[in-house]
């Protein structure tokens, strides 16, 4: 029986000729990731094991990004814990203030993960790296801690869903609209513990940033991982960012899939997810009159340079609605600097937005953008659960950077065409 792309990567890392869905395996890890929330939990568990060192100081990445810059004493203590662990074990890839970024944008940018590799992280959006043709998935802090020590992890081999991507997106439609459309179609448990495998001639029309966004939100459909085939664009990205050797795996022609869907990019419109689930989607054209109080542009989902360019293009020559709070978070320091050099930051500020150093803060209701009772936000983040960005009586609407920017200008859920673009 043939194997999917994910199954081939797992088989290779388990030292097996083949694996089947549902099989339990122990696989070698190429990268283990932790942040300032999940890291301390794992570190304390590691200390109980009385191990002298980690399995490989070059294959661990520690990125304090959720409550940084530290919002209070407790978050400062968490970061101190991670910082001291990194120093004690001489961790090569430790990134904090000044060189940090939001972890899932930073690691690909730093070239720490490439095609054919395995990665676990104690953060559910670790699935982002499937855009590069890697198997990456989120795990609990204890499993992540064990991975730091052993360099291995147990997996149940997932079955897969195939998404055949065809066509080309219309102006202002992006990878965020693609994944919101898919989640709206199959639901938040539609891919539960399955691999979402994207194929088809339309993939060539998706930028790397589009692919990162789509893979990032695979978990919002319940998936174990999302993964893209490795093409010329992927290889070009890896060569630009990494010196690591990569391995290309391709699904067998007779690979088994639980379901197959065809996604015609040319048929998609700007899409938004209403509270309180990512599956609660509508096209913006059918959203109705929804007034908003705040807009957040950034996060591990949509804080990359193409996202900032799209938002700036909408903001150019416009100003945000009176009373509107707009916060822009470039995903990494390098992206922030590039946005400055391209004049994007000036555009945001002139339009009435504020720009922050990279942080996950507002996405998880941590800091720098908390919502009060009754407030509504349009956000380019990935989750809109009850109380996700603040008060349990607040509301979060998920959208692309272009839709978020247009909504900031009008003061209500809008798309670029609503302001003549």
pLDDT tens figures, 94-153: 998 788 899 999 999 999 999 999 999 999 999 999 999 999 999 998 899 999 999 999
End residue of a domain, out of 263, 284, 311: 263
The CATH number covering residue 113 comes to: 3.30.499.10
Q: Enumerate residues 6+ apart whose C-beta is below 8 A from 350.
A: 315, 319
The tens digit of pLDDT for each residue in 179-196 reads: 999 999 999 999 999 999
Is the same domain home to 375 and 293? Answer: yes
The per-residue pLDDT for range 247-265, each reduced to its tens digit, is 999 999 999 999 999 999 9
Do 324 and 221 reside in the same domain of the chain? no
Residues 238 and 285 in one domain: no
At what angle are helices 305-315 and 208-216 packed, to 10 degrees? 100
Which helix H or strand E contains 184, and what residues bound it? helix 175-186
Which residues, in sequence order, are CB contacts of 20 under 8 Å at separation 6+? Answer: 1, 7, 157
- Is there a single domain that holds both residue 171 and residue 231? yes
- Co-location of 253 and 298 in the same domain: no
Could you list the residue range(s) of the whole structural domain that residue 369 is in? 272-419
Q: How far apart are CA 275 and CA 321, in angstroms?
A: 22
How many Cα neighbours within 13 Å face the side chain of 122? 26
Each residue's pLDDT tens digit, 289-320: 999 999 999 999 999 999 999 999 999 999 99
Q: What is the mean pLDDT of residues 69-95?
A: 92
Domain boundary among 263, 280, 315: 263
Among residues 243, 263, 283, which one ends one of the domains? Answer: 263
As given in the structure block, the two tokens for residue 419 are 């302001």
Model-level pTM? 0.95
Q: Which tens digit of pLDDT belongs to each residue from 392-411? A: 999 999 999 999 999 999 99
From residue 37, alpha-carbon distances to 5, 81, 173 in Å are 31, 10, 33
Give the pLDDT confidence score for residue 365 in this predicted structure: 83
Q: How many domains does the chain have?
A: 2
Q: Tell me the three state secondary structure of residue 197.
A: strand
Residues 6+ apart with CB under 8 A from 264: 166, 167, 202
């Amino acid at each position: 029986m043939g194997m999917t792309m994910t199954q081939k990567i797992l088989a290779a890392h388990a030292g097996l000729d083949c694996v089947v869905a549902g099989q339990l395996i122990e696989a070698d890890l190429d990268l283990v990731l932790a942040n300032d929330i999940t890291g301390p939990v794992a570190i304390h568990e590691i200390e109980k094991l009385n191990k002298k060192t980690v399995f490989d100081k070059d294959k661990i990445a520690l990125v304090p990004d959720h409550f940084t810059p530290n919002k209070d004493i407790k978050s400062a203590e968490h970061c101190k814990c991670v910082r001291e662990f990194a120093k004690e074990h001489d961790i090569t890839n430790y990134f904090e203030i000044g060189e940090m970024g939001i972890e899932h944008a930073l690691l690909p940018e730093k070239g720490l993960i490439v095609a054919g590799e395995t990665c676990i992280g104690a953060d559910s959006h670790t699935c982002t790296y499937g855009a590069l043709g890697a198997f990456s998935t989120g795990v609990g802090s204890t499993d992540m801690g064990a991975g730091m020590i052993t360099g291995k992890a147990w997996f149940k081999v997932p079955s897969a869903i195939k998404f055949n991507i065809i066509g080309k997106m219309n102006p202002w439609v992006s990878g965020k609209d693609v994944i919101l459309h898919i989640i709206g179609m199959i639901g938040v448990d539609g891919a539960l513990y399955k691999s979402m495998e994207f194929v088809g001639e339309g993939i060539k029309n998706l930028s790397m940033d589009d692919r990162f966004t789509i893979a990032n939100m695979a978990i919002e459909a319940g998936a174990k991982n999302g993964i893209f085939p490795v093409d010329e664009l992927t290889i070009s990205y890896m060569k630009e960012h990494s010196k690591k050797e990569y391995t290309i795996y391709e699904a067998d022609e007779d690979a088994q899939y639980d379901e197959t869907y065809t996604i015609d990019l040319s048929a998609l419109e700007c899409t938004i997810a209403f509270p309180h689930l990512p599956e609660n989607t509508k096209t913006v054209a059918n959203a109705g009159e929804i007034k908003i109080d705040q807009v957040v542009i950034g996060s591990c989902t949509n804080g990359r340079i193409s996202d900032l360019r799209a938002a700036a293009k909408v903001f150019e020559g416009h100003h945000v609605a009176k009373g509107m709070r707009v916060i822009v978070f470039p995903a990494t320091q390098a992206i922030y600097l590039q946005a400055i050099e391209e004049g994007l930051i000036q555009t945001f500020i002139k339009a009435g937005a504020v720009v922050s150093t990279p942080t996950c803060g507002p996405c998880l209701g941590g800091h720098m953008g908390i919502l009060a009772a009754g407030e509504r936000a349009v956000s380019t983040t990935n989750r809109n659960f009850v109380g996700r960005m603040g008060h349990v009586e607040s509301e979060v609407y998920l959208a692309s950077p272009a839709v978020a920017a247009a909504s900031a200008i009008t003061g209500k859920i809008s798309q670029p065409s609503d302001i003549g673009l």
